[in-house]
């Protein structure tokens, strides 16, 4: 962060900019569109506030925020295309569905608009800039937290989510497996299937864990059983089996409060929008940047640390009134 801030101070102003000659607001600031997955997405207020903090701190960009009213990859794609010819220097996008959004993102990029994907990367021949968690590091942190909690010895089961359509669980699972193999006294009894509906996966997982009381821990590498909070009307495993998962979002906090999950692995989400806007400022001053990715630091939220995480979330979402363009 410090290195980039120094770079911002040293770069010359007035260079050629992507986004056309009219990508400045009436106040002389470059215009940046920030697009959320949906108005109801739990990360959207965090990403939006991060971008607005950067606007406040650096004062060289004008952030305009957009998000579909309901979660819909189609609606987000239409929204992106509507921004294509509105003279934005850059569009920063919280990616809801990488495959579904790729054509719209490529369309926006073809108009000379700088594109930054947020949270989830998008594979494309155009190689967008990306800012978000490193899923491989999420897998590593999940394995390390589990091993630490069971003192390096025990029998575990794993719900990998390799079959998930979003492509996120794969890198997590691969690194999780490699990390667990480094611990000879941690034995994987079974990798559980993620086939079927979340309700079916829940029933199969709960049944398996109840039949093997010697299980020390269950690792949920995927989000399959965490996306639907209605499933969690009771613990997933016996008290003797600790549960570890990913994504410490507000809807999942009760799992930590009830100690139905021992820890959830996430990231410093408040940095994502802030970093993206810093990139936009560098582009405004310097011109194009070579494609690159920034991985925000991983954060393990233990059930004992839930109050501190809630306080951090409150700071990330504290209202920031956007300035007039």
List the domain boundaries for the chain: 2-127+269-296, 135-267
pLDDT in tens, 88-123: 999 999 998 999 999 999 999 999 999 999 999 998
CATH topology of domain 2-127+269-296: Rossmann fold (3.40.50)
Q: Do domains 2-127+269-296 and 135-267 have the same CATH topology?
A: yes
pLDDT(263) > 90: yes
> How does DSSP assign 109-146, residue by residue?
HHTT-EEEEESS----TT--EEEEE-HHHHHHHHHHHH
Q: How confident is the model at residue 322 (pLDDT cuts 50, 70, 90)?
A: low
* CA separation for the pair 45, 32 (Å, rounded): 17
Q: How confident is the model at residue 16 (pLDDT cuts 50, 70, 90)?
A: very low
Q: Tokens in use for 297?
A: 């630091």
CB 85 within 8 A of CB 68: no
pLDDT(17) > 80: no
* CA separation for the pair 24, 226 (Å, rounded): 42
* pLDDT at residue 109, as a whole number: 93
Residues 6+ away with beta carbon under 8 Å from 149: 217, 242, 244, 262, 263
* pLDDT at residue 162, as a whole number: 59
pLDDT in tens, 160-192: 875 554 456 788 999 999 999 999 999 999 999
The class level of CATH for 135-267 reads alpha beta
Averaged pLDDT for residues 309-315: 98
* pLDDT at residue 168, as a whole number: 61
Of 48-57, 122-131, 308-317, the poorest mean pLDDT is in 122-131
Report the predicted TM-score, pTM, of the whole model to 2 decimal places: 0.87
């Amino acid at each position: 962060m410090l290195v980039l801030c120094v770079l911002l101070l040293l770069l010359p102003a007035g260079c050629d900019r992507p986004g056309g000659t009219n990508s400045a607001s009436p106040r002389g600031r470059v215009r940046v569109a920030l697009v959320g997955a949906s108005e109801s997405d739990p990360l959207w207020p965090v990403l939006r506030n991060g971008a607005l903090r950067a606007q406040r701190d650096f004062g060289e960009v004008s952030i305009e925020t957009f998000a579909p009213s309901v979660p819909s990859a189609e609606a987000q794609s239409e929204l992106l295309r509507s921004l294509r010819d509105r003279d934005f220097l850059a569009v920063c996008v919280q990616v809801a569905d990488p495959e579904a959004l790729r054509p719209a993102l490529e369309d926006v990029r073809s108009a000379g608009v700088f594109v930054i994907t947020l949270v989830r990367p998008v594979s494309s021949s155009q190689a967008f800039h990306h800012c978000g968690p490193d899923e491989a590091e999420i897998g590593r942190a999940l394995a390390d937290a589990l091993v630490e909690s069971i003192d390096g010895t025990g029998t575990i089961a794993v719900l990998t989510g390799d079959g998930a359509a979003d492509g996120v669980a794969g890198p997590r699972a691969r690194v999780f497996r490699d990390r667990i193999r480094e611990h000879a006294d941690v034995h994987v009894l079974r990798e559980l299937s993620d086939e079927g509906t979340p309700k079916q996966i829940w029933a199969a997982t709960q049944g398996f864990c109840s039949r093997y009381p010697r299980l020390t821990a269950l690792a949920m590498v995927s989000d399959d059983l965490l996306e639907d909070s209605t499933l969690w009307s009771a613990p997933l495993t016996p008290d003797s089996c600790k549960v570890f998962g990913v994504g410490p979002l507000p809807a999942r906090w009760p799992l930590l409060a009830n100690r139905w999950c021992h820890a959830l692995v996430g990231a410093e989400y408040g940095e994502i929008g802030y970093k993206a806007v810093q990139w936009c400022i560098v582009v405004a001053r310097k011109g194009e940047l070579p494609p690159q990715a920034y991985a925000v630091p991983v954060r393990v939220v233990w059930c004992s640390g839930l109050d501190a995480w809630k306080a951090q979330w409150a700071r990330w979402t504290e209202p920031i009134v956007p300035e007039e363009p």
